[in-house]
Structure formats: C-alpha cells, structure tokens
Structure 1
Amino acid sequence: MALPLKPLFFFSFVSLVSGSYSLLLPVTKDAATLQYVTQIHHGTPLVPIKLVLDLGAPFLWLDCSSGHVSSSNTPILCGSIQCLTAKTSDSGHGGGTSTCRLSPKNTITGLAEAGELAEDMVAVEGSEMGSRFLFSCAPKPLLKGLASGTVGMLGLGRTRIALPSQLAASVGLHRKFAVCLSSSEGTVFLENEIAGTDVSKSLMYTPLLPGQDPNSEGYFISVKSIRINGRGVSLGTITGGTRLSTVVPYTTMKRSVYDIFTKAYIKAAASMNITRVESMAPFGVCFRSESSEPAVPTIDLVLQSEMVKWRILGRNSMVRVSDKVMCLGFLDGGVDPVYFFFFVHIKRHHQSNDTISISYVILFAP
C-alpha cells in the first residue's frame, strides 16, 4: 500500500557538477538488457550484491538461496511490527508462529511469486556500517529476465519498506532522493542535502500524483498536453497520470494517444524535409538520417501548466537502429495501458558509447 505522501517531482537539464553527497547508489546500464543495475552491500559479513533498479517497486527482493549465507538474516513473523509495517496480507494473521509473506514481482517479466519477509544488514555507498533492513526473499525462478549477475530488484517506491523510507528512518534523513541517469551510468543520491546544492537552483517542479490505483507504489506526474515544434497536439482528456519508470526501455503510450502523437510528429518531420522510411521493430516510425546530431522536431510535455514543460530535444527522442536509419523512441502500448510510461531518463535508449555530459536530475521529496 502506498504511503500517504504528496511529494514533488523536480527535474532539470543540468550539468552534474555540484553538490556534496555522502549516501548514494552507483548505477550502470546493462548493455544486453538495457536495465539499470545498482549495487548494495548485504548480510553479515557485508558483501556486494547487484540488483536491477526499479523506481516504482515497493521493496527490495532478492534470491536468498544462492550466494553467501548471512549470519544476521532473520525471518519476520506474522503479526509482528515489521509485518505490519510491510502491510502484507499476513499482517494480522498467523498467530506470530509463521513467516510473514510478501509477493515480490519481477517487473521486467511481470511474474510474481510468493516470498517471505526477512530482515538483514544492508549498507549503501557512503555509510560506515550497515543498518537492519526489511526485504523479501524470493524464489530463484523470479530472476529470469534480469540482467546477468543480478540477484534481485531494488525498489524505490512509495512504501514504508522501500529503500528511501527505510534509509530515512535508520539514519535520520528526510525521505527524499535524487535520480541521475545517462546512457551508460548514473547515480541515485540518498542524502538530504540536495535541496541546498547549486543543482536545486535550476530545478523546476511538478506535483506527484497518486495514480488511478490508490495502492500504487509508483511515481506519477500529470501530462496535460504535448507540443511538437511548439504546436499543440490534441490528445483529449488524459486521466490517471503518467508513470515514471526505470524498467520500461522506451516511452510507451496508449494506442489512441500514440496514433495521434505519431501522426503529428510525422507531419512536423515532413515540414523539416525529414524522409520517412520503413519501420523497424519495435518502433512504428522511422526516418532516414546519417547525422549523429539529427535535426528533428522538438517535443514538449506540458505538465501542470504551460509554464512547466519537460522538453525532449533532438536526438533524445530518437533511437539509431543503423547507420542510415533512426526511429522515434515511442512505442504503441496497445489498448490496455491506462497510463503513459516515460522512463526516468529520456536518454536511456542511446548507445553505450554516447558521450553524455548533461543529465536529468530528478528529486523526490515529501
């Protein structure tokens, strides 16, 4: 269940040069899967483990059956304070004699399994020693589809047992964090000093929404409209919010919205003498281009007002699929998706050898 928080989502297109951070998660992008991978230290003794980063997931889950055996791993019983904190279906059942159960989910494959709530030592980069953290032990088959070498997924969602909440409670931080991602690497800053850095002077903000499902643990923003080269695209009424994700490799839209959006984009591209070519899966709109810095239409996501826009410039909206072809990095999500899905960093889809000197900085705060 989501926390009753109304945080703000801050973003900016700035250089990653300022700020003093002590607690952080280093992030790399796995070239084979396009998944963002981070590392924490876990257990007693503390050993490094790699996890797939999921911005909207409710908690940390990992395969406890492989790797080292921790001497401090403690199963959590039903009816305990920890089980109540996790707000599982077992919170008030079991008589304190059975293990509290969770349902960890692989958000890459969509598979969920039965898991058990446990507590063990966890440390992140910059912390002198570990703190006891709640997480879920999951069966090994749940690892299918995750980047090679990872043993689970690390959730940063809006729950009391997601990493930001537990870290804030254990070391006395405010519940806020910043995500900075590029085409090949990045950082999740967990220190509460970000609001006092030079970076914050360049930030704009928009409220985070709860989403249509009140129990959603993810982060949603309101996209009121879209502009292409400054011209508005009539999308009708957009409800439910736009979900931010680090596990969706390309921006995905509901089909009715995608059709309107791509039609307008193709028209704008034609006005710039950009030649459309045959589509290449999974993309529906592709163009001829041999330039490394193609001149293409600019996309503005208009948020709570016309004064607050998330601008997607030039190649940030494009995926190069060959030396002569680039494709619009937006996908048709079919008729089922309730929300748009925008990954946190619009450059996620670019090739690993791109040189990135600027990134989005996203700060989540109550």
Structure 2
Amino acid sequence: MASSLHFLLFSSLLLISPSHTQQSSIPDATLLPITKDAETLQYLTHINHKTPLVPIKLVLDLGGQFLWVDCDSEYVSSSHRQVRCHSLQCSAAKATGCSGCFRNNNTCRILLTNTVTSKATNGELAEDVIALQSTDGSKTGQTATIKSFLFSCAPTFLLERLASGVKGMAGLGRNRIALPSQLATGFGFHRKFAVCLPSSTTSKGVVFFGESPYMLLPNMDFSKSLIYTPLVINPSDEYFIGVKWIKINGKRVSLNTSMLSIDKEGVGGTKLSTIVPYTTLESSIYDSFVKAFIKVAISLNMTRVASVAPFGACFSSENIASTGVGPAVPIIDLVLQSEMVYWRIYGGNSMVRVRNDVLCLGFMDGGSNTRTSIVLGGHQLENNLLQFDLATSRLGFSSSLLIKQTTCSNFNFDPIRKESL
C-alpha cells in the first residue's frame, strides 16, 4: 500500500512539474525507430539524450526494467542530475541502497542488468533530458521532450556483448520507471505501447507509445484487427502470455502442459523477449515439438537434411514453395485462452534460411533446468504488431502482418485524420 502511494505521489510530481515536459502541444504518441543488428541480431533504437541533445544507440529490451546508459565514458550533460537517497523517485525505482555507488555515496543506488549476458551491478539513479519523435494527430516529425527522465548510470563494462556503438539498454517492462510508464505519466498517455520488429537488417520497425492509429497500409488502422489475450501476472517486470498447448497443422503436440503454467515464483510459462533471437523451449517440450514438426513435414514431402548449428531440424528448400507468408511449411499454432484464440506462426517466422538450399526450424533447445518453459524470441515476433496495454493487462497481436501483404517496415507516419478512420 505504501509503495502504491509513493508511486501515485511520484506520478503527480511529474505531471505538475512545469519543467518536466516541453512541447507546444501535447502529443498523441511518441515513436522510436527499431533496427536489427546484423552481427548480434539485437534490436536497436536511438533516443536523443542529454544537454545538448545527442542521439544514443540502445539495445531494445522488451522486458527490461528501465533505461540504463554508460555514464563512465564520455558522458557530458549540463542537465544531468543525481537522484538523492530517500526521495520519491528513489522509492519508485525500488532502490537497493543509498551508499557505495560507483560515482557518489549520497546517490540513490539501483540494481541494473545486462540481460544479454545476465551480468548485474549497482548503478546510480539519475535524471536527464530525453527527446522522441512525436505526433499530435495533425502534425508529425515534431519532438516531445521530458526534462527529468529517470534512468540509471552504468559502468562501461556492462556493455559487454552488446552491439557495436551501443551505450546502454532501453527497457520496456512493467517497471514503474521503464519507458512506457514514464512516457505515459509525462505526456498523459494511456499506459499502452506497441512494438513491431523488423525482419531485415536493412529495414526499420517501430515502438509506438500512446494512442493508435497504427497505419501499415493506406486507410487501414491495424489496431482495429488485433486479437487479444491476457498478460499473465508474474513476479518479474517481463511479459508473459498463457499458452495452453501447441498445434502443428491443426494437430495437438503431446507434451507436459503443466510446464506451460507459471507458478508463484515465476517458474514456467511463456515469455516474450526481444533479447533471445530465436524461440527457446524447455528440453522435453522441444523434443516433442521438433518430433511432431518433422513428422508432419515429411508427410508433406519435405526432405530432412543434416542439422546446421544452432538448429536441430533442417530441410532442403528445393521442394518447399514460397508464399506471401514465407516458406510453405507446417503451420504452428500457440493456443491461448481457448481453441478460438491462437497465435499462428507461418513459415516466415518459423523457418530460418541458413544456406541457399537449406531451411531450418528456428526454435532452439533451452535446456532442462530453464526458468521459463517457452521464450518467444525475436524471429518469431518479427512482422507481428504487438500492443501491450498495461492498464488492462492484455496483449493485442496481429498473428503475422505478412498475411495482409505488409511488414513492420511499412508504417505510415503521415498525418492521419482520426475522424476518417
């Protein structure tokens, strides 16, 4: 109760502060571009940060707790302010302490993690300016600014194994100081955001904070055609959905469905991740899933070939037709709250071309002692419009934009007259 009260006070403080945001009109939405790094397969974005404003490259972490940035290397800003111990901001950030920070002993200390390497360390909580592209419904290409955006300063070593030129990670999780919550508070948005990951290293996707429309085709708002499923509440700041079972070409895969549930400690379940490049399955689920897929594939005259690491099931592409939704391979359905609600995975999201003549099933063995039974990785999320509504705790998803002959790189940010939708 006390924690909730602190957050309400903290939110009110941000909203009434005249210096917190700066824009001639209140935006309907703010946008972040997404690119895919060819070497690491990480999804990257850019945020304008500090004073004077400079663009910084960040790894996008869907379940990340907040924004953290390397402050040890060339961090110069006239607007940077440390957050003091015992402040409302410190409380909202779930501080781990108030001493022993690597920069200042009187600064609020917070635990931060590189989710690629799983390395964690203490960093200081700070405030500085950020600016994002915005729209007010009639104008685009404007900039929306928050002058007192909370983030964590990190030591340089935490950047290990992140893409070249990256300065930190941008967290979109359910944490109170993650980007979605701070932007919603700062601009008065509904607490929702949408993610559309690009499938190519030469195209762009988008994170969309605030209200729709999501225009991927002329005069078509894709928020009107989403399928909805509850977000499963769990102890972490990450996003889980309730997969009940898996089907391949309409036939249920035989597996231990109890592992698909998530317990009070957060073990089990199905998580969405932009950090894992390919979906991972707990070993027993993976074995049953791959065997079932191979059986159906062979019945469709697909020819299995030697595996190509890190994938376990590969096929000759010679007799696999190409379609608008990718290779013509068995369809995978993740069945959610009922038989009528399912996430359909077509060949464009299930297969990975490893050579001109070889396609591999883009799912990996996550091990027998994994904390999460299924982690839906980036390849399976690409070209799916995903809307996270934090207020109602539900996920809206498109189940592949390819079937409508569009992709995440086709967002239209031109001015949209809402009355015409």
Distance 1:93 1:326, change over 3 A: closer
Aligned to 1:148: 164
Aligned to 1:32: 39
Deviation track 1:149-198 (CA, whole Å, cap 9, x = no partner) reads: 11000000001100010011111111100001121220000122349983
CA separation in 2, counterparts of 1:23 and 1:247?
Answer: 23
Task: Map 1:178-193; keep pairs closer than 5 Å.
Answer: 178-184=194-200, 185-193=204-212
Deviation track 1:40-96 (CA, whole Å, cap 9, x = no partner) reads: 1111111111100000000000101223400111111211111001012227999x9
Aligned to 1:304: 337
Once structures 1 and 2 are overlaid, which stretch shifts more, 127-136 or 251-260? 127-136
Aligned to 1:53: 60
Aligned to 1:130: 146
CA-based RMSD: 2.3
Task: Map 1:355-366; keep pairs closer than 5 Å.
Answer: 359-365=383-389, 366=391
Aligned to 1:8: none
Task: Map 1:85-234; keep pairs closer than 5 Å.
Answer: 85-90=92-97, 98-126=106-134, 127-184=143-200, 185-194=204-213, 198-211=221-234, 214=235, 216-234=236-254
For normalisation by structure 1, the TM-score amounts to 0.86
- Please point out which of 77, 90, 115 is paired with 2:84: 77
Matched, 1:246 2:274: yes
What letter matches 1:141 in structure 2? F
Q: Higher relative CO (CA 8 A, sep ≥ 6), structure 1 or 2?
A: 1
- Please point out which of 233, 255, 259 is paired with 1:235: 255
Aligned to 1:326: 359
Aligned to 1:7: none
For structure 1, list consecutive stretches of 5 or more residues without a partner in the other structure. Answer: 5-19, 349-358
1:88 match: secondary structure = coil
Any conservation in 2 of the 1:289–1:326 contact (CA below 8 Å)? yes
- Please point out which of 343, 346, 350 is paired with 2:377: 343
Greater fraction of residues in helix: 2
1:360 match: secondary structure = coil
Aligned to 2:24: none
Any conservation in 1 of the 2:114–2:158 contact (CA below 8 Å)? yes
Aligned to 1:16: none
Any conservation in 2 of the 1:345–1:360 contact (CA below 8 Å)? no
CA separation in 2, counterparts of 1:254 and 1:333?
Answer: 5
CA separation in 1, counterparts of 2:185 and 2:147?
Answer: 10
Q: Report percent identity of matched pairs.
A: 56
1:321 match: secondary structure = strand
CA separation in 2, counterparts of 1:318 and 1:344?
Answer: 13
CA separation in 2, counterparts of 1:259 and 1:44?
Answer: 53
2:210 match: secondary structure = coil
CA separation in 1, counterparts of 2:353 and 2:381?
Answer: 12
For structure 2, list consecutive stretches of 5 or more residues without a partner in the other structure. Answer: 5-26, 135-142, 263-268, 392-421
Distance 1:173 1:91, change over 3 A: farther
Aligned to 1:352: none
- Please point out which of 268, 291, 299 is paired with 2:296: 268
Deviation at residue 130 of structure 1 after TM alignment: 3.3
